[in-house]
Amino acid sequence: MLNKSIMNRDSKRKSIFKILLTRIFAIVILFNVMQAGLNVRETVLIQRENEARKKQQVENEIIRIIDAWNSVLISIESMFYDIQSKAIEKLIEIQSVHDLKNVNLLEQMTQFELDTINNDLYIIEDGIIVNTTYEPDLGLNFYEFSEGHKNFLLNVLETGNFTPEKFALESSTRRLKCFSYQATKDRKYVVEIGSYSETADLIMQMFRDRLSNIMKDYSDIVAVNFWIVSENLQIGFLDDPGIYEYQDSLVLETEKTKADIKTRFRKEQRLYAAEYTYLGLDNPSQYFKDVIISIIADITDYKKPVYAIITKQVLITLIFLTLLLLILTLATRSLKYILRDMLRKTTSIASGKLHQRVRVIGENEFTTLAEHFNYMVENLETSYKDLNQKNKLIEDKNKTLQEQNEEIASQRDEIEAQRNFVIRQNELLEKQKKAILDSINYAQRIQQATLPDEATVNELIPDNFILYRPRDIVSGDFYWMTRVE
């Protein structure tokens, strides 16, 4: 039963090589998972650093464009201010003779030798354009633009001073346009003149080309732009490619919160990341006060390097485990044979077959184990034989002792029978002795009854002595006394 129980437990136990392989594989897999995790983390950190560096480069480039814009256009603006100031002064002089609301402004521009293509005149009354060389704007109410623009025009009316504006992007044409304002002497109208500059257009195109080159430098950036924002109005420096439909609202939200906004969206099975960064202008104009930088990047393939690292690490792990399995299989072939042989021989030895020996192969720790095992079994067999001989001697001695015990037991029974006989004889003798004593005692009483009593003797013979000592309770002698008258 014990051997069967052991064999049943052995059948349920795992091979040491399976346990060894399982643990080695677990360690290798754990190591590769940790290495893959570290590589992925490093890759993600590098990507984030690249994204941050890329964003910073774009911001720096846009800041350089804005700085160049301000510095280059200063000289152009001063020239335009002089021309615009003279044109407005001439119109104000005309107002003293003719109502500017009804003056043909195109003819006046020709007389002023102003380019009618790149210059526009506006006569504003109570915030409404009542006369202009640009007919689409006729009737436009500036007061409805914003409260700030309304206050600006009211301030021009109040002061009556010539008020020039810096070049700013026009929302409809996205061309640089320089505006100047001055109120008529009667404060009825505000005269506004807006002028385009072909030189400024060339500079703007150069800046646009420079900004567009950023997208060529970074293949994942699909749209980069900066937006000039002023009170619910935003103008993009570059054409909007129309990738993100909520771009305008996010630009306004960024300007409102003065905080960066990041979002992600999908379009045509591509994943995009949009980031809007707020930049305040150092020298804002009336129309444009803040700048918002927008960067839209295609991040569909953003995780490809991570997947590539994981795939590579998995392949390396599989190849390494395969090679390791092959090496361990070849290296442990003889060891497995020794252990299996040892297991079989151990089972046989456990069943009592002590003549079994393990085959010794190779020169390693298992060889030493096999030799020690054989030596142990040999000693066990010798000890077993010695033990059998001693057991046989003990059995013989036990047999002799048993015979002696049986003889002693037989003698003891005989002695016991004799003792019982003696006891019975003693009991019989005691009974006989008692009967005899009873008879003697009875005879004594009879004798005592026949002898004279001591009182009578003392009465009759005062001086007397009687020597009467029976040897055995009853005496064979009698003495007699009687009174004689």
Secondary structure element (H or E) that encloses residue 401, with its range: helix 365-450
Can you tell me the distance from the alpha carbon of 72 to that of 430, in angstroms, rounded to the nearest whole number? 161
- Per-residue pLDDT at 154: 93
302: pLDDT confidence band, cut at 50, 70 and 90? confident
* CATH fold of the domain at 10-208+302-331: Beta-Lactamase (3.30.450)
Q: Residue 68 and residue 77: Cα distance in Å, rounded?
A: 14
Query: When comparing pLDDT for 377 and 86, which is higher?
Result: 86
What lies within 8 Å, CB to CB, of 46 at 6+ separation is none
Helix (H) or strand (E) holding 381, with range, is helix 365-450
Percent of the chain with pLDDT over 70: 87
Which one, of 390, 356, 348, 391, lies nearest residue 376 by Cα? 356
The string of DSSP codes covering 437-470 is HHHHHHHHHHHHHHSPPHHHHHHH-SS-------
- Write down the pLDDT at residue 6: 44
pLDDT band at 130 (very low <50, low <70, confident <90, very high): very high
Distance, CA of 215 to CA of 470 (rounded, Å) = 162
Q: Which of 28-32, 99-103, 141-145 has the lowest mean pLDDT?
A: 28-32
Segment 96-120 shows an average pLDDT of 87
- Measured from the Cβ of residue 122, the count of other Cβ atoms closer than 10 Å reads 23
Least confident of 131-140, 242-251, 349-358: 349-358
Q: Residue 287, SS3? A: coil
Q: What is the pLDDT of residue 286?
A: 46
CATH says 219-300 is which class?
A: alpha beta
Contacts of 444 (CB under 8 A, 6+ apart): 470, 473, 474
- Average pLDDT over the chain, rounded to whole? 79
Overall size of the chain counted in residues? 485
Q: Which residue has the higher pLDDT, 262 or 244?
A: 262
Residue 328 has which token pair? Answer: 């361990």
d(CA 294, CA 248): 10
User: CA-CA distance, 236 to 226, in Å (whole number)?
Assistant: 6
Token representation of residue 368: 């030493």
| Tokens 């040999």 found at | 378
Spatial contact of 114 and 87, defined as CB atoms under 8 Å apart: yes
| Cα 358 to Cα 310: distance, rounded to the nearest angstrom | 48
**pLDDT class of 183 with cuts at 50, 70, 90:** very high
Identical fold between 10-208+302-331 and 219-300: yes
pLDDT computed for residue 2 by the predictor:
42
Mean pLDDT of the region 219-229: 78
**In the chain, domain spans:** 10-208+302-331, 219-300
Indicate the pLDDT class of residue 189, thresholds 50, 70 and 90: very high
**449 CB burial (10 A radius; 0-12, 13-18, 19+):** exposed
pLDDT above 90 covers what percent of the chain? Answer: 8
Alpha helices in 160-302 (DSSP H): 198-217, 247-257
Q: For 116-139, what is the mean pLDDT?
A: 91
Cα 385 vs. chain centroid, distance in angstroms?
A: 63
If you write DSSP's letter for every residue of 135-197 in order, what string do you get? GGGTT-BGGGT-HHHHHHHHHHHHH---EE---EE-TTT--EEEEEEEE-TTSS-EEEEEEE-
- The SS3 call for residue 261 is strand
Query: What confidence score (pLDDT) does residue 68 get?
Result: 75
Which amino acid, one-letter code, is at 285?
Answer: S
Cβ–Cβ < 8 Å for 267, 241: no
Distances (CA, A) of 181 to 47, 140, 392: 51, 16, 135
Structure token pair of residue 9: 């437990």
The CB density around residue 124, as the number of other CB atoms within 10 Å, is: 25
**pLDDT range class, residue 387, cuts 50, 70, 90:** confident
**Number of neighbouring beta carbons within 10 Å of residue 191:** 27
